[in-house]
Amino acid sequence: MSSVPAHLDQVLERVTDARNALLADLGAPNRAARLSAMFALEAQVWSQVYELSSLRLVWRAALAAEAGARANAVLWSARAARERAGVVPAMSWAAGRVGAPRPVALSTSGVPGGGR
């Protein structure tokens, strides 16, 4: 392995380790803003991996990882903006993204022996 990919691998490992530690630290100050920055940094590293890769499988994986990191950066940035605006965050990340249940009407028409 050449020195540049090895260096990028080390940088990516440090960034993901720091990101994972920040994800685990629920009481960290400015956590959402810092996570947004960490995901943006991770996306930049994946972009470098993509640009330097000559193997199709590697550059496709790097491109997908970059897109995922950018999407996470946007989500955490929006959460940081809500926190700065004084909006109380949802109890869980999924709770803030899942809509209310939709009413469902049960029907037995079309079922053999039903709807009589």
Residue 64's Cβ-side half-sphere holds a number of Cα atoms within 13 Å equal to 6
Closest listed residue to residue 12, CA positions, set 53, 43, 55, 35: 43
The confidence score (pLDDT) of residue 23 equals 95
What pTM value is reported for the model? 0.71
How do residues 23-52 score in pLDDT, each as one tens digit? Answer: 999 999 999 999 999 999 999 999 999 999
DSSP state of 96: T
- pLDDT less than 50: residues of the chain: 1, 106
Residue 6: what pLDDT?
A: 86
Output the pLDDT for position 111: 53
3-state helix, strand, coil in the chain (%, to 5): 65, 0, 35
Spatial distance between the Cα atoms of 70 and 61, rounded to a whole number of angstroms: 14
